[in-house]
Structure 1
Amino acid sequence: MNNDSSSRIVERLSAWIAGAAPGARLPSTRSLVAEFHASPVTVQKALQTLTARGLVESRPGVGTFVRAVRTARPADYGWQTAALRASQGPRRTAVTALRDAPNHVIAFHSGYPDRELLPERLVRTALARAARSDAAISRPPASGLPELQTWFAQVLAATTPAGIAPPTPADVVVLPGSQSGLSSIFRALPGNGQPVLMESPTYWGAILAAAQVGVPVVPVPSGPDGPDPGELARAFEESGSRLFYAQPNYANPTGAQWSADRRREILDVARQYGAFIVEDDWAHDFGITTSPVPLAGMDDSGHVVYLRSLTKSVSPAVRVAAVIARGPARERLQADRAAESMYVSGLLQAAALDVVTQPGWQAHLRSLRHQLQSRRDFLVASLREHAPEVHITRVPDGGLNLWVRLPDAVDPVRLGADCEREGVMIAAGAEWFPAEPAGPYLRLNYAGPNPAGFGEGARIIGRCMSTQLTGR
Structure 2
Amino acid sequence: MSLPEPVRRDTRLDNYVDRYAARAHGMTASAIRALFAVANRPEVVSLAGGMPNIADLPLDAVGSVVHDLVVDNGRVAMQYGSGQGEPMLREQICDIMRLEGVVAHPDDITVTVGSQQGLDLVTRIFCDPGDVVLCEAPSYVGALGVFSSYQCDVVHVAMDEEGLDPQALTEAIGAVRNAGKRVKFLYTIPNFHNPAGVTQSLERRQQVLAVAKAADLLVIEDNPYGLLGFDGEPIPAIRSLDADTVVYLGSFSKTFAPGFRIGWVLAPHAVREKLVLAQESATLCPPVFSQFAISAYLAKHDWRSQIKIFKEMYRDRRDAMLAGLSDHMPAGTSWTVPEGGFFVWVTLPPGLDSQSMLPRAVTARVAYVPGTAFYADGFGSRHMRLSYCFPTPERIIEGTRRLGEVLEYEMSVNETFGTAIHQGSFKPYEAPGANQT
User: Is 2:400 aligned against 1:400?
Assistant: no
Out of 151, 160, 173, the residue aligned to residue 92 of structure 2 is 151
Q: Distance in 2 between matches of 1:373 and 1:157?
A: 24
Q: Which residue number in structure 2 is paired with residue 449 of structure 1?
A: 391
Q: Report the CA distance between 1:336 and its aligned residue.
A: 1.2
Q: Distance in 1 between matches of 2:32 and 2:78?
A: 37
Out of 346, 354, 373, the residue aligned to residue 288 of structure 2 is 346
Q: Distance in 2 between matches of 1:249 and 1:223?
A: 14
Q: What is the identity, as a one-letter code, of the residue corresponding to 2:67? A: A
Q: SS of the counterpart of 1:397?
A: coil
Out of 66, 86, 96, the residue aligned to residue 32 of structure 2 is 96
Q: What is the identity, as a one-letter code, of the residue corresponding to 1:114? A: N
Cα distance, 1:449–1:188 mapped onto 2, change above 3 Å: same
- 1:336-355 Cα deviation digits (max 9, x unpaired): 11111110111000112222
Q: SS of the counterpart of 1:442?
A: strand
Q: Distance in 2 between matches of 1:415 and 1:192?
A: 35
Cα distance, 1:409–1:118 mapped onto 2, change above 3 Å: farther
Say if 2:221 and 2:247, in contact at 8 Å, map to a contact too.
yes
Q: Distance in 2 between matches of 1:418 and 1:407?
A: 17
Q: Which residue number in structure 2 is paired with residue 366 of structure 1?
A: 308
Say if 1:412 and 1:440, in contact at 8 Å, map to a contact too.
yes
Q: SS of the counterpart of 1:462?
A: helix
Q: Distance in 2 between matches of 1:450 and 1:374?
A: 9
Out of 170, 179, 185, the residue aligned to residue 116 of structure 2 is 179
Deviates more, 1:385-394 or 1:244-253: 385-394
Q: Which residue number in structure 2 is paired with residue 128 of structure 1?
A: 67
Q: Which residue number in structure 2 is paired with residue 263 of structure 1?
A: 205
Say if 2:128 and 2:150, in contact at 8 Å, map to a contact too.
no
User: Is 2:216 aligned against 1:274?
Assistant: yes
Q: Deviating runs (4+, > 6 A) in structure 1?
A: none
Q: Which residue number in structure 2 is paired with residue 235 of structure 1?
A: 172
Q: What is the identity, as a one-letter code, of the residue corresponding to 1:225? A: E
Q: Report the CA distance between 1:436 and its aligned residue.
A: 2.2
Say if 2:27 and 2:149, in contact at 8 Å, map to a contact too.
no
Cα distance, 1:92–1:141 mapped onto 2, change above 3 Å: closer
Q: Distance in 2 between matches of 1:125 and 1:422?
A: 43
Q: Distance in 2 between matches of 1:443 and 1:117?
A: 25
Say if 1:113 and 1:448, in contact at 8 Å, map to a contact too.
yes
Out of 377, 393, 403, the residue aligned to residue 461 of structure 1 is 403
User: Is 2:74 aligned against 1:137?
Assistant: no
Q: Which residue number in structure 1 is paired with residue 126 of structure 2?
A: 189
Q: What is the identity, as a one-letter code, of the residue corresponding to 2:242? A: D
Out of 100, 107, 113, the residue aligned to residue 46 of structure 2 is 107
- For structure 2, list consecutive stretches of 5 or more residues without a partner in the other structure: 1-24, 177-181, 417-437
Q: What is the identity, as a one-letter code, of the residue corresponding to 1:323? A: V
Cα distance, 1:327–1:233 mapped onto 2, change above 3 Å: farther
Q: Distance in 1 between matches of 2:153 and 2:59?
A: 40
Say if 1:391 and 1:406, in contact at 8 Å, map to a contact too.
yes
Q: Which residue number in structure 1 is paired with residue 317 of structure 2?
A: 375
Q: Distance in 1 between matches of 2:58 and 2:146?
A: 29
Out of 214, 226, 239, the residue aligned to residue 296 of structure 1 is 239
Q: Report the CA distance between 1:294 and its aligned residue.
A: 1.2
- 1:60-89 Cα deviation digits (max 9, x unpaired): xxxxxxxxxxxxxxxxxxxxxxxxxxxxx9
Q: Distance in 2 between matches of 1:119 and 1:297?
A: 32
Q: What is the identity, as a one-letter code, of the residue corresponding to 1:109? A: A
Cα distance, 1:445–1:97 mapped onto 2, change above 3 Å: farther
Cα distance, 1:439–1:342 mapped onto 2, change above 3 Å: same
Q: SS of the counterpart of 2:221?
A: strand
Q: What is the identity, as a one-letter code, of the residue corresponding to 1:296? A: R
Q: SS of the counterpart of 2:93?
A: helix
Q: Report the CA distance between 1:123 and its aligned residue.
A: 3.2
Deviates more, 1:391-400 or 1:199-208: 391-400
Q: What is the identity, as a one-letter code, of the residue corresponding to 1:371? A: M
Q: Which residue number in structure 2 is paired with residue 74 of structure 1?
A: none
- 1:322-362 Cα deviation digits (max 9, x unpaired): 00001322212221111111101110001122223334322
- 1:385-432 Cα deviation digits (max 9, x unpaired): 111336343210010011111112222123321121122111111101
Q: Distance in 2 between matches of 1:102 and 1:159?
A: 38
Q: Distance in 1 between matches of 2:287 and 2:315?
A: 34
Q: What is the identity, as a one-letter code, of the residue corresponding to 2:122? A: I
Q: Distance in 2 between matches of 1:227 and 1:206?
A: 16
Q: SS of the counterpart of 1:207?
A: helix
Say if 2:141 and 2:374, in contact at 8 Å, map to a contact too.
yes
Q: SS of the counterpart of 1:382?
A: helix
- 1:111-139 Cα deviation digits (max 9, x unpaired): 11233244434433333333332343322
Q: What is the identity, as a one-letter code, of the residue corresponding to 1:197? A: L
TM-score (norm 2): 0.82
Q: SS of the counterpart of 2:142?
A: helix
Q: SS of the counterpart of 2:260?
A: coil
Q: Report the CA distance between 1:194 and its aligned residue.
A: 2.2
Cα distance, 1:439–1:414 mapped onto 2, change above 3 Å: closer
Say if 2:364 and 2:406, in contact at 8 Å, map to a contact too.
no
Q: SS of the counterpart of 1:374?
A: helix
- For structure 1, list consecutive stretches of 5 or more residues without a partner in the other structure: 1-88
Deviates more, 1:366-375 or 1:186-195: 186-195
Q: Distance in 2 between matches of 1:273 and 1:414?
A: 40
User: Is 2:225 aligned against 1:283?
Assistant: yes
Percent identity over the alignment is 25
Q: What is the identity, as a one-letter code, of the residue corresponding to 1:263? A: R
Q: Report the CA distance between 1:285 and its aligned residue.
A: 3.1
Q: Distance in 1 between matches of 2:275 and 2:125?
A: 6
- 1:182-240 Cα deviation digits (max 9, x unpaired): 11111112367421111110100000001112222111122321111122122222323
Q: Report the CA distance between 1:438 and its aligned residue.
A: 4.4
